[in-house]
Amino acid sequence: MKGPTIYIRAAITMLAIAAPAHSSEIGVDVVFTDGEASIIRAYYQDQVVHRTGKRKPSKGLPPGIAKNLQQGKPLPPGIAKQALPAGLIEQLPPPRDGFERIELSGKVLLVEIATQVIHDVLDEMIIGK
């Protein structure tokens, strides 16, 4: 009766291969590369130099929420995140599969889409926010 056992083992193997693994499950440390961080810093510094109008300063986040915007923590539910500007996205390589880069409260975050866990934070990138 090896026949059914082989099929069951094959099915279990296929499920294990097909199931998406989160980066934390497979020990992958996904962070901004030095090149990405340099591009992001340069972009926002250039925006400050070339800005003609004054930008309205944002209120920022409440201190309790702001201190939780760190690596390894999930994004707070219902938080208003913004996509990076199109001009910056064009300069950056695409993010790793399953990740997105967002702006939030003067920071640029690298977030795992499936879990909403923050994998990396670039602080004080967006001057004037």
Q: What are the residue ranges spanned by the domains of the chain?
A: 29-122
What is the pLDDT confidence band of residue 18, given thresholds at 50, 70 and 90?
very low
Compute the mean pLDDT over every residue in the chain, rounded to the nearest whole number: 78
Name the amino acid, one letter, at 50. Answer: H
User: What pTM was estimated for this model as a whole?
Assistant: 0.70
Number of residues that this document lists for the chain:
129
Query: Which residues contact residue 123 at a Cβ distance below 8 angstroms, ignoring those fewer than 6 apart?
Result: 106, 107
Amino acid 124: pLDDT: 73
Q: At the topology level of CATH, where does 29-122 sit?
A: Nuclear Transport Factor 2; Chain: A, (3.10.450)
Name the amino acid, one letter, at 129. Answer: K
Cα separation, 93 vs 107, in Å, equals 19
pLDDT in tens, 79-127: 888 999 999 999 999 999 999 999 998 899 999 999 999 999 998 766 5
Query: Which residues contact residue 49 at a Cβ distance below 8 angstroms, ignoring those fewer than 6 apart?
Result: none
15 compared with 100, residue with greater pLDDT? 100
Q: End-to-end CA distance of the chain: give it in Å, rounded.
A: 68
